[in-house]
Amino acid sequence: MLFTTVLSLAALISSAAAVLITAPTNTSGWETSGSEEITWSTVATDPTTFDIQLITPQDPNTPINITSNVDSSSGQYTYTPPSDLAVGGNYRVNIVSPNGGILAQSDYFNVTQGTSSVSPSSSAPSSTASTSGTSSGTTTSTSATSSTPASSSPSASASGAAGQLVTPGGALMFLAAAIGVLA
């Protein structure tokens, strides 16, 4: 009986996905106009594809599908929100497995009035784009380079990552505690 319980717990822990959404965060939200970048890190045991959803404060129980069948190894997706995206807080991005389970959730983030300086780019693992323009009489030039995150360690995104990451050490501690309780 103990052996069966331990095996069940080990299977549960090993099936925990380690997808970590690194943007948007509670300190780097979105603006009402322009493209926005959604970034994440993964580990080898994560699904090869997933869907991305937007949770709005106006209807948190009805996710808006941003895109489907995203290559999880790409590490980023550039999204242009609808023009009627409301200013406010409590927005969230979900990464969802093909079977519908939530793999990761972003921090809650704010949408503020303005135009994003993120340049649309391909969803390939590495890309570079640049733009220039004039806004309110000030000429600005921006460029963006994105690439697949090199690390999926907890230090990859220390800001607001609590509750979004299962570390191997944490899983082992949980398993050891479960064995101790059952023994």
Mean of per-residue pLDDT scores for the chain: 71
DSSP 150: S
What is the rounded average pLDDT of the residues 146-159? Answer: 36
Chain-centroid distance, C-alpha 132 = 28
Confidence of residue 5 (pLDDT cuts 50, 70, 90): very low
β-bridge pairing 109-115 and 30-33: parallel
The pLDDT value given to residue 183 = 55
- Report in angstroms the alpha-carbon separations of 13 from 17, 37, 180, 182: 9, 30, 16, 17
Domains (range + CATH), the chain: 18-150 (2.60.40.1930)
The pLDDT value given to residue 117 = 81
pTM more than 0.75: no
pLDDT digits (tens, 9 = 90+) for 110-129: 999 999 987 765 443 333 33
Total number of residues shown for the chain = 183
Nearest to residue 114, comparing CAs of 143, 146, 85? 85
pLDDT digits (tens, 9 = 90+) for 53-106: 999 999 999 999 999 999 999 999 999 999 899 999 999 999 999 888 999 999
Nearest to residue 24, comparing CAs of 55, 50, 64? 55
